[in-house]
Amino acid sequence: NAGVTQTPKFQVLKTGQSMTLQCAQDMNHEYMSWYRQDPGMGLRLIHYSVGAGITDQGEVPNGYNVSRSTTEDFPLRLLSAAPSQTSVYFCASRPQGRTGNTIYFGEGSWLTVV
């Protein structure tokens, strides 16, 4: 009964380093997404996927890559970390369709880029 599992919970990176935030869900949801949350900004969509092999950009995609090789996994890659990417990242999944009330979040990843 894991739901959405997101790792790591905390990470400190140096500018220019790369890393991958992992996200996995066990609910067979078609729709998965990554958000970042900054103070006073609410959740902003980075990338999303409506199924395996399909990804698309959200509101703030620059500096991030995603892939969806399986229904379960949706990793987020930071290619060359910048201080502006210091934020809290949330992975989420839900069934495709008009389902804003059935979204499941991971517990968040706190990323600091120095």
Name the residues that contact another protein, by CB under 8 A. 31, 35, 40-45, 48, 50, 56, 90, 96-101, 103, 105-108
Q: Which residues of 32-60 are buried (b: 16+ CB within 10 A; e: fewer)?
A: bbbbbeeeeeeeebbbbbeebeebeebeb
- Pick 72 or 104: Cβ nearer another protein: 104
Q: What are phi and psi of 92, to 5 degrees?
A: -145, 155
Shortest separation between residue 102's beta carbon and another protein, angstroms: 8
The C-alpha R_g of the chain, in whole angstroms, comes to: 13
- Pick 38 or 62: Cβ nearer another protein: 38
Shortest separation between residue 110's beta carbon and another protein, angstroms: 8
Shortest separation between residue 67's beta carbon and another protein, angstroms: 18
